[in-house]
Structure 1
């Protein structure tokens, strides 16, 4: 379906919000690059990710990367709109992708009716855990606003292409954690015509980390979005559709919640999200009663029921209130998900939202950011120099062992680099590197030599850690403690100029070894400090 030549200059802005989905992001970006329609721009809005989202974006030089503090999906989309230059806008989630004719197909429809505020089409639903695909195509010929009052027939946001002028009148509601797309569809279709077709436009990836898997939250927000329209209903037909919509959402998500709870029962889980049970009790008493009476066998083969489950939940809640977590009796520990000899991730948690140790490393560098100034040397790359030094950095140098690295200003092993002049740097950033250097004492001696008087050496080293399972594994030689780092630093720096600190506790250390990601641990637990479980050791030393 080739476009007329004069239409080829209509710019399409593809906005990709991303929060800790770096492992999917390259696929999403590439799906735009292979489009049959070539006149587009790609804008990545990094919503405060703690994984390597920025690194992935850097591998696509034509992508416009925009960072913001974590503010939610609606805010990320609004930020993308502010940076978009196209006459048409598409919002692609970082874990989904476009089919190759998506832009060409939708822009043709919009050109056929310039009055239309947006066009939407069909999609493929890809269920990643089982590697299965379903085709979602619906024939909708009724009044679109009334049909949306009953249900969100559009289903997938990436199938929608908007006219840019729409966002001079509307924006995504930042108070909505879920269903913000459903909200804007209702706002637009109440006032403007749209186009809907069944051609396949995109692929919606379903996986364990989808926001839409929170069925209780989805129900609450779907009903809230629907309630926003109550004041706008003009006639009996719209009011009837509104009532049908309330019934549809409560029935649909109650069944989802029930099925999820039953799945947990038969998987041997003995505790549940209280919100799920409250939702079932509030919206579907029949399913709630059915769940309560559902017997099952736990992992020990013992018969249990809902009452016992509730008692277990109450005991845990009571223990939290008293701040006295109970220690299980001997042979009564429930290992749960940790009852395995292989980790959840072999990538330090990069594929589960970002590594736990990076939280400590970056907090340390943030605390000493005032020392990252003047001429700064960093090992490997200069990302931390730029992030924490900012405008205070006059010159940024990079030492790398590989001469093919184009970013490096010096090549060599830190333990033996006589070509780097002495007394040269105001600051050296040396994170997670000392463990890879065989003669680490010589590396510290080098740092002392090349620092200016009054210059600061900032170091982090691993304490409790897995060994890297990629190419770096063969260079992984050491782990350290606060005592070993204190003694090492005192061989070169005055004791009064050395500050050694440890980070971690038994929970975080265990989670890190299993490969859990930063979003999977409560911040309060991450910040808890127990010097007997040193995940990371940091050092600040002044020459």
Structure 2
């Protein structure tokens, strides 16, 4: 049971509530702060030039410090609140949202447990006013917070975050940003200081028609600007990969939103259509459902343009994007029997499947730690494990390999002791082992309890023309890997994910290089065309 805070021992928490014409919600927000189980709180309402009853509401509530400024925007209002506050810890609550009673106490306890944290964040509920629906947003992020933030704003809501005051001696909200100022701040802080995230639900995020987050065009452009501001701060390959992934994820997310509005008949301006085409130039099927064809969308755009080069360009794209009738497919460079490369695209910038492999390892970098075994070489161990790896081992079948710390066939390796490794990295190797089930059993045996196997296998793939052509035995699917993991790791946990689509599968079969494939095409996954299957399996603890 948690020990109650006393007034004398509880650090003061300043709750800053910016308000612009949200007077009708303000009392509910303030009262949610006053109902907190935590005792030491000050409430500061910053009126950002409202013309409604914000001032009257704020001044009618006892214990509220009211500050007025000419309208300067949300970032400026928060910065004003920081200057007016006295608390050692700060929380920013939007006037149309509210806190649950234990929100401040929960975050204060975590901040006191780790004095190095710059901020701590938690989960929240989305509350849809039109339907009274409540949806919980709970994300688990245990470490590598900066990497996770590069891929997306896992925090999602201002009021779920508690900051230390000293943070604002180094950082302020960027008043030049019309949106995403919170995401920008989280990235800048997490780049330099430790932060923490938990899954306790702290606050309610009211969803209504005036939410800025509903402006997909603004959010897309601003999010990409915020992310781009981090480009000069990236220090490792994992960070660069996360940055690239984040860019593509945000593009896919907001262009999907825009296409959804278009399909539902919500009118988009010509500029909206331009934005959609700019960030998803091929109008790929990850943004458009089958009910609204690319041709339909492009026809709408073309009709909005009276004349000129833009109309001609879009009309040309319309022809290219149309699904051709039977017998009128244009094969172009694909009309050939020989692929562009017989080396998996290594001679054209690198294989397409490496994108999926390295994206997977970057996502799971937190388990590449302690003593790590990698098959063949230890390049991925060094790239993604970095300083977390205490000992790097290499298993190689060839005794002449000078870098091998273990020699042998992983399908029969009795000389490797049980419960030895914290992590095993086995990428694109299982298909070359005839007795692959035995290889998986060896992995389970030599992993420590709680240790992780990071495995990738090919699905749709060319067969090697060179060294491995005589031992290329298998291809897999996500269904086969799930069955294998259930057999190999009973009582453990496993995550099996297929990656690929018809475009990337075709590109891979033809030997195209990774730089030749647009990132937006790589991000779309269709389980009917599995180029790569990734597996993260955790060995259960011994009883």
For the superposition of Structure 1 and Structure 2, which TM-score range results when normalised by the shorter chain? 0.5 to 0.7
Which residue of structure 1 aligns with residue 283 of structure 2?
A: 287
Match among 266, 269, 274 for residue 273 of structure 1: 269
Check the 8 A contact 1:150/1:245 in 2, yes or no.
yes
Q: Helix, strand or coil: the match of 2:265?
A: helix
Deviation at 1:310, TM superposition (A): 6.1
Which residue of structure 1 aligns with residue 261 of structure 2?
A: 260
Aligned 1:115-126 pairs, distance under 5 A: 115-126=116-127
Deviation at 1:283, TM superposition (A): 1.1
Cα deviations across residues 433-478 of structure 1 (Å, max 9, x unaligned)? xxxxxxxxxxxxxxxxxxxxxxxxxxxxxxxxxxxxxxxxxxxxxx
CA distance in 2, matches of 1:223, 1:247: 9
CA distance in 2, matches of 1:135, 1:295: 30
Q: CA 1:261/1:102 → structure 2, altered by over 3 Å: closer, same or farther?
A: same
Deviation at 1:272, TM superposition (A): 2.3
Unaligned runs of 5+ in 1: 266-270, 297-303, 316-543
CA distance in 2, matches of 1:295, 1:251: 17
Q: CA 1:286/1:127 → structure 2, altered by over 3 Å: closer, same or farther?
A: farther
Aligned 1:468-487 pairs, distance under 5 A: none
Check the 8 A contact 1:216/1:276 in 2, yes or no.
yes
Which residue of structure 1 aligns with residue 354 of structure 2?
A: none
CA distance in 2, matches of 1:251, 1:64: 42
CA distance in 1, matches of 2:220, 2:136: 24
Q: Helix, strand or coil: the match of 2:11?
A: coil
CA distance in 1, matches of 2:260, 2:19: 29
Q: CA 1:8/1:128 → structure 2, altered by over 3 Å: closer, same or farther?
A: farther
Which residue of structure 2 aligns with residue 378 of structure 1?
A: none
Which residue of structure 2 aligns with residue 113 of structure 1?
A: 114
Cα deviations across residues 293-343 of structure 1 (Å, max 9, x unaligned)? 9779xxxxxxx986467656869xxxxxxxxxxxxxxxxxxxxxxxxxxxx
Check the 8 A contact 2:270/2:301 in 1, yes or no.
no
Deviation at 1:56, TM superposition (A): 1.0
Structure 2 residue 144 is matched with structure 1 residue 148: no
CA distance in 2, matches of 1:115, 1:7: 22
Check the 8 A contact 2:158/2:182 in 1, yes or no.
yes
Which residue of structure 1 aligns with residue 206 of structure 2?
A: 205
Check the 8 A contact 1:216/1:275 in 2, yes or no.
no
Check the 8 A contact 1:281/1:288 in 2, yes or no.
no
Q: CA 1:286/1:186 → structure 2, altered by over 3 Å: closer, same or farther?
A: same
Which residue of structure 1 aligns with residue 35 of structure 2?
A: 34
Deviation at 1:5, TM superposition (A): 3.0
Aligned 1:86-97 pairs, distance under 5 A: 86-97=87-98
Counting matched residue pairs gives: 303
Q: Calculate the TM-score normalised by the size of structure 2.
A: 0.53
Cα deviations across residues 219-267 of structure 1 (Å, max 9, x unaligned)? 11111001111101111111111101101100111101111122225xx
Check the 8 A contact 1:26/1:56 in 2, yes or no.
yes
CA distance in 1, matches of 2:269, 2:60: 40
Q: CA 1:286/1:88 → structure 2, altered by over 3 Å: closer, same or farther?
A: same
Deviation at 1:277, TM superposition (A): 1.1
CA distance in 1, matches of 2:297, 2:274: 17
Q: Calculate the TM-score normalised by the size of structure 1.
A: 0.53
Q: Quote the RMSD (CA, aligned, Å).
A: 2.4
Which residue of structure 2 aligns with residue 54 of structure 1?
A: 55
Q: Helix, strand or coil: the match of 1:195?
A: strand
Cα deviations across residues 342-363 of structure 1 (Å, max 9, x unaligned)? xxxxxxxxxxxxxxxxxxxxxx
Aligned 1:127-276 pairs, distance under 5 A: 127-265=128-266, 271-276=267-272
Q: Helix, strand or coil: the match of 2:192?
A: coil
